[in-house]
Amino acid sequence: MSAPLRLAILGTGRMGRIRAQHIFASPRFEIACVIDVNLQAAQSLASEFRVKNFSTTLSDFDYDGLVVSTPTFTHISAIEDCRDSVPIFLEKPIAEDAEGIRRAFEIAGKKGNKLCCGFQRRFDDTYVAGSAKVKNGEIGKVVNCNVIFGDHPCPSIEFLKEGGDIFMDLAPHDIDYVLNTLDDKIKNVYATGCSSDPVLKEAGVIDNATIICETVKGSTVNITMSRSAEYGYDQRCEFFGTKGSVQVGNYPKHHAVLSNSSGVTGSVLAHSFPQRFGQAFAKEMDGFADVMEGKKEWEVTQEDCIHVQNVAGAAGVSYKEGRRVDV
């Protein structure tokens, strides 16, 4: 058996911790070092996973690959600071706009770093199975796709008032998954939304939104998003075709079902994305190991990253201007 691949983890926030858990659990990896601008946070995560090396800078250590789980605006500097010829895994998005994504890939290309953007639905067993049925032609020509994204738990009002764009935050994973499944691109979008709380409405923040998309090949894609699904993390996708349909369903918190004279009841849905996509996160890291070992290329391309970012950005423009926007 070959020696484990040594990974540097950059960022100790929620996603950095999730990545560390899956890296630590994999026999293909060892955590070489933990890096964060907050030295105490780096030390804490390193101690949790029995890692000796921690710092505020990447230059202090040697490593075979880098996993970046820091805010988007730091990604380009992380690529610049990374050792040459080392594969880099980054959370989506690579950068804040199309120009930044191009620059990131250009810098990485000059340094010999392969960039691997994380779109976890491509690695989730249920989403992959649904995609395969569409790609195999089992439902004929896809004419419509409907996506539901209900987040859980709901962020605080304070976070939402200060927080990000619902179109950029919630839509990209599903945009990537649908377009990869359809082998298609988005032609134009129309977006609308509303505020469920008067405080958000006064602040001009929407926490519910719908994007209606027309693809280049003529399908319609509808993406409905909410910051709060009270019953758990609601993630659904359905492809409707000329010969049938494929549904990607939800994961319950547990599978116990009660049947009695009052009816048939089950559990709420999985709590949030770490529970729903745990298998996908693990498989994503396994795919990154394959890239590091030269066994395959990462399937998410620069063009994919740019197009997803452009679609989400166009949705934001559409909502603000109340019109259909070409992508």
Report phi then psi at 49, rounded to 5. Answer: -110, 20
Number of Cβ atoms within 10 Å of the Cβ of 199: 12
pLDDT at 37 over 70: yes
Please give the pLDDT value at position 2. 82
pLDDT at 163 over 80: no
Q: What is the mean pLDDT of residues 302-316?
A: 98
Residues 93-112 pLDDT 10s: 999 999 999 999 999 999 99
CB contact at 8 A, 171 and 315: yes
Residues whose CB is less than 8 angstroms from the CB of residue 211 and which lie 6 or more positions away in sequence, other chains included:
167, 171, 189, 190, 191, 221, 222, 223, 225, 315, 318
Q: Residue 272 has which token pair?
A: 């949030």
208, exposed or middle or buried, with CB in 10 Å at 0-12, 13-18, 19+? middle
